[in-house]
Amino acid sequence: MRFGCGLELLVVIVAVIQCIGFIITYILAAYYGHLTPFFPYISNTGGKPPESCIFTLICSISSIIWLLIIYIRYIQVKQYYQKDINRIKFLNQFTFFIGAVSVFGLLLVGSFQDHNVNAKVHMIGAFTLWIFGILHMWFQTLVSYKIYHTGLTRRIDKVNIFGRLIISLMAVIISIIGLISMKVSEQQRVHKEGQYDPFYWDSSVV
């Protein structure tokens, strides 16, 4: 398989699809009065028809593209260990599995909206996407590190590692603040559509 022939644009394509898609679902949800327009959850922009149909479509298309990206990376790394480096081989396979699980989480998010009886499945999908997505990022870093130390490719850029550390730290902070805000909001039971609820807004922003 040849690389460097525009496959890297898949990441840009899926990012554009998701941004445009979620903007459309937000506009529709706000137009039909299905959410509080100021800082709603992304999930709330696709909780009710007709925006829920577009939300599911966007998540499904994104899942296919993300799985393709993860598979391309798997094949790319596989080409490096022609000398049967077993540890890298297993690590590459495991990393692909982690990535596939995160994609499955995205499918759950899109297929089970949070405004119906399947809200718990929706949350399971969201946490699966979030946690396994971060894990996949770091396992990819480890794969690249192992490849370098077998003399198969160039050293990992330290800036890249630093960036992933920042992303991981922010993910942990956001998760903690979001969970606390959601818990407090549920306990107070003050949230209604269009009603001021600072804890709901806090968890939405993070």
Question: What's 37's DSSP letter?
Answer: S
How far apart are alpha carbons 177 and 155 in whole angstroms? Answer: 36
Tell me whether residue 179 is in a domain: no
pLDDT for residue 154:
56
Q: Is 202 part of a structural domain of the chain?
A: no
CB 28 within 8 A of CB 51: yes
Burial track 106-133 (b if 16+ CB lie within 10 A, e otherwise) = bbbbbbbbbbeeeeebbbebbebbbbbb
The residue range of the domain holding 125 is 9-156
Q: What is the pLDDT of residue 196?
A: 47
Domain count, the chain: 1
The answer to the question of residue 206 being in a domain is: no
Return the pLDDT at 168: 80
In a domain, 128, yes or no: yes
In this structure, is residue 169 part of a structural domain?
no
In a domain, 174, yes or no: no
Task: Please state, in angstroms and rounded to a whole number, the distance separating the CA atoms of residues 71 and 3.
Answer: 13
For the chain (length 206 residues), average pLDDT per consecutive 10? 69 94 93 82 85 94 96 88 70 94 95 75 89 91 76 61 81 76 60 48 47
Q: Is 57 part of a structural domain of the chain?
A: yes
- Tell whether 75 is covered by a domain: yes
- Distance of alpha carbon 153 from its chain centroid, rounded? 28
